[in-house]
Structure 1
Amino acid sequence: MKTAVLTVASRARREHLERQRRVLAEVADDIVRVEVWLDETPPTQTPDAGTLAMHVPPGPHGLRVGEGRNHAAAAAIDAGAELLVFLDVDCLPGADLLPAYRAAAARHPDAVLSGSVTYLSSVQRPETASDLPFLTRPHRARPALTPGTTRRAAPGEFDLFWSLSFAVTPASWARIGGFHPGYEGYGAEDTDLAWTARANGVDMFWVGGADAYHQWHPVSSPPWQHLDDILRNGATFHDRWGVWPMGGWLEAFAAAGAIERRGSDWVRVR
């Protein structure tokens, strides 16, 4: 099964991208590699040999992560890929990630496939694939299955979809239609893709053994630096689906007095 690994990146994550490249070279065989640069200008460094490099500049409101992934998928399909593996620039692939996704795709070719993600701490800086098994601790918010097993997600579990690591065949990607282009900057495009898949009758399966490892970077909770993005993208999601995503963060912002509910909208007040 000819496999493509697709990553969108920016200058702020250059170190993470370099580490991902090194680990991917260890665990991947003959893959189609696509990297999409999301900054205003493309990188000055030459990508690895054989990598399909693309540039999708920001929109008026920020990085176009979803559109970058859409362009990457189109390039991979044009290159003959039979399986699209989306891997966030912060994520390192475990040695069994690609085999697990391929096996799951053979069993469930019409589904979105989601593997587990381990969040690494600030002191955990693995440099080789052999370092990763000792660090495995899947995030508790999502199902973590035994390697070699899969489970169909319940309808309510589509909210747990993360685009950090997932796989899909080109046929299923076409049924979903890709990421909606209306999201720029941070937030909501993941949930929108999952809800679109569910609305179009595309199942999601949790995949055991397809472990990815999220490299540490500073975060805040709630993410104050992304407040305006969350309000704008949340409103786009509300317009499309009738509900607001990221409810926990919105409630936290409201509790801090930064936003308030006015009718069906959330509005910034300071």
Structure 2
Amino acid sequence: MTPTTAVVTLSDDSRLPHVRNQIAALRRWAPGVTHYRADLGTERNLARARNAAADAAVGDGADLLIFLDADCIPGPTLVPAYRSALEREPEAIHCGPVTYLRQGALEPADPLGGLTALTDPHPARPNPRPGVLQEADAGQFNLFWSLSFAVHARTWRGGPRFDESYEGYGGEDTDFAWLQRRAGRRMFWVGGAHAYHQWHRVSSPPVEHLDDILANATRFHARWGSWPMLGWLREFEELGLVRFQDGRWRRASAPAP
């Protein structure tokens, strides 16, 4: 029997146009794949939303789980590449390459028509040849992105999963990867599992998420003894928004203890 595959995503209403492109791609290139979307709502707990959507898919009988960011369009080879990887290494975490699309890259009349011609994976992550599984070393768990990865339902049920004490934006995906490494899970970079991140406006650094990032970075440090998202924290520092004092990052306006 062919394993049942589910795509898991989460979004708010502002990302629904992107989600529609994601669903259209699945219908074109992977008919039969079920789609589970968790609505972030006002709570915006990304970890809880991902866990809930994945649990719903597994509860409905899904064997294979593909997690995609709401902004990501699956390419025509993403689903078969992840299926093959999970067949070969069912107890591992699998990550595919992601291309970030520029503004206006997609043709409005047919967003999927020229998609594969735009393939240009982000250089910060490995991009093996199609059909190749490249095992991540211990240091590469830092490179895990929750915007495109796949796990077998048995692996998901066995945990660990996303820690729901992370609230808002940032840190929960690196924590998830480090929990997998501590549990002895292997991680592979999957050649050919291409996803395409649709353009949208972002702030750099993401100052609208400053409080979330500070809280989640502190939570991560309490568990692991190191600081995640250091690039953002240092950019915030350069802007005069935060300072590092007495072994922790805090808002620059916060009074010293």
Q: TM-score range by the shorter chain?
A: over 0.9
| Paired AA for residue 34 in structure 2 | V
Aligned partners of 1:242 and 1:204: how far apart in 2? 22
Aligned partners of 2:142 and 2:130: how far apart in 1? 23
What does residue 22 of structure 1 align with? 24
What does residue 189 of structure 1 align with? 172
| Paired AA for residue 223 in structure 1 | P
What does the per-residue CA deviation read over 1:17-49, in whole Å, with 9 as the maximum and x for residues that have no partner?
A: 122122221111212221111114xxxxxxxxx
Aligned partners of 1:244 and 1:174: how far apart in 2? 28
Deviation at 1:177, TM superposition (A): 2.2
Q: Does residue 102 of the first structure (1) align with residue 83 of the second (2)?
A: yes
Q: Does residue 175 of the first structure (1) align with residue 158 of the second (2)?
A: yes
What does residue 129 of structure 2 align with? 146
Contact 1:87-1:165 within 8 A present in 2 as well: yes
Q: Does residue 206 of the first structure (1) align with residue 156 of the second (2)?
A: no
Deviation at 1:221, TM superposition (A): 1.8
What does the per-residue CA deviation read over 1:170-197, in whole Å, with 9 as the maximum and x for residues that have no partner?
A: 2222333210001111100110100000
What does residue 105 of structure 2 align with? 124
Q: TM-score, normalised by structure 1?
A: 0.89
Deviation at 1:161, TM superposition (A): 0.4
Aligned partners of 1:186 and 1:69: how far apart in 2? 13
| Paired AA for residue 199 in structure 1 | R
What does residue 77 of structure 1 align with? 58
| Paired AA for residue 95 in structure 1 | P
Task: Tell me which of 210, 215, 222 is aligned to 1:227.
Answer: 210
% identical aligned pairs: 47
Deviation at 1:128, TM superposition (A): 4.2
- After superposition, where does 1:5-44 map in structure 2 within 5 Å? 5-40=7-42
Q: Aligned-pair RMSD on alpha carbons?
A: 1.2
Contact 2:26-2:33 within 8 A present in 1 as well: no
What does the per-residue CA deviation read over 1:130-184, in whole Å, with 9 as the maximum and x for residues that have no partner?
A: 3211000000000011111111101000000001110001222233321000111
What does the per-residue CA deviation read over 1:217-267, in whole Å, with 9 as the maximum and x for residues that have no partner?
A: 111221111111110111111111111100111111112221111122101
| Paired AA for residue 246 in structure 2 | G
| Paired AA for residue 181 in structure 1 | E
Contact 1:88-1:165 within 8 A present in 2 as well: yes
SS of 1:22 mapped into structure 2: helix
Aligned partners of 1:130 and 1:205: how far apart in 2? 29
Q: Does residue 218 of the first structure (1) align with residue 201 of the second (2)?
A: yes
Q: TM-score, normalised by structure 2?
A: 0.94
Aligned partners of 1:16 and 1:220: how far apart in 2? 19
What does residue 55 of structure 1 align with? none
Contact 2:4-2:33 within 8 A present in 1 as well: yes
SS of 1:210 mapped into structure 2: coil
Q: Does residue 87 of the first structure (1) align with residue 87 of the second (2)?
A: no
Q: What is the aligned length?
A: 249
Aligned partners of 2:154 and 2:24: how far apart in 1? 30
Aligned partners of 1:215 and 1:31: how far apart in 2? 21
